[in-house]
Amino acid sequence: MNLLTHSKITEEIKEELFAFNYDDTSLESVLKAEKKHVKVFKNLDSLSEIEKNLNVTSGIDFYVTNNRIMFLDCQPFGSSVVLEDLIQNENKRLNVIGDFLLLENSEEIQGLQLLAFLLSVCHVVILVQDYFFDSNVVRFFLSAEMLKPTISNPEDEYMEHFPHLILLHNRAQTSDFSPANFKKMQHMYNLMFSKSKCHINSKLGLGSCHLINCLFPEDCSELINLILIPEYSEETEVMYNGHSSLENLIKKLRSNILGCTKYPLTHVQLTEKNWLIYCTKVWDHIKKSNFFVEYDKLLP
């Protein structure tokens, strides 16, 4: 998310975001070092946060770039830290999920509500995973899409919005970039999301953008929106020589996001102010929806 919010990725930004990936720098020295004046969206800035494996984002964070592009960053799904926080904080648990859901399912229901919200108010949704692939993540996404309520309008016109879906692996290994493995990943995701109404074949992935010489559209079979970002450090930067650099991959991803077709969220065009009002309306619908209560009863 931090990389996408910058129109140009400099060495200072990479040092700020990937400070803990440098072998010659200890954790304590990085945290105690004088901070450079590099504006980042959000980052871990204390030793205790890292030791406790805390999430940088709690709920959904909102960020607007200088070009008035709106980014929504969501907390991770399936996180034990989120569940522990809901267990320890009863007021927060009641405010988020109410008193009619089982405690052990509270984290999953909260995550489904947040994802259903993002699917309703965003033009592009980026589903980030560290590795390929987790069937629980796919099941979770499809469940949120199924539970997403339809928002009515004063004219009672039926209009259901589905965003572009980009699948992003942010710890890709060198073998993942081979045409054979990349083709297998695309084929698997194409099967798993075959019943999804989200736009996953809108040519926003690596197979369509001619960034990597060995990944041509004719060799990649199904051209789904799959992006691979290599695990970054000083050592791996040398390993990936000959491939597109981190800067080029992020630049192309950002260009694809900004240039893709924006399907309307409602039957009328929304300004920034009206979009915020619409977000409030969507969240109220999700909180009052009985779909999540009924789904909770089906969980083990």
Same domain, 102 and 42: no
Is 59 within a domain? no
Q: Is residue 292 part of a domain?
A: yes
What pLDDT, in 10s, does the model give residues 131-182?
A: 777 888 999 999 999 999 887 665 555 568 899 999 998 888 888 888 888 8
| Segment of 115-119, 212-216, 266-270 carrying the highest mean pLDDT | 115-119
Specify whether 255 is located in the same domain as 171. Answer: yes
Handedness of CA 185, 187, 191, 195 (dihedral sign): positive
Strand, coil or helix: what is 195? coil
pLDDT-wise least confident of 29-43, 117-131, 203-217: 29-43
Q: How many residues does the chain have?
A: 300
Cα distance between residue 65 and residue 82, in whole Å: 28
Output phi, psi for 115, to 5 deg.
-70, -40
List pLDDT tens digits, range 232-290: 766 656 555 556 677 888 888 888 888 888 888 888 888 899 999 999 999 999 988 88
Q: Which of 125, 130, 159, 131 is nearest to 145 (CA)?
A: 125
Rounded Cα–Cα distance for residues 266 and 152 (Å)? 9
In a domain, 61, yes or no: no
DSSP one-letter code for 241: B
- Domain membership of residue 159 (yes or no) is no
215 and 125 in a common domain: no
* Average pLDDT over every residue of 114-126: 95
Specify the pTM.
0.83
pLDDT higher than threshold 60 for residue 79: yes
Q: Which residues share a beta bridge with 164?
A: 124, 199
Task: Report the number of distinct structural domains present in the chain.
Answer: 3
**Residue 5: domain span:** 1-54
Give the single-character DSSP code of 244: P
Same domain, 72 and 217: no
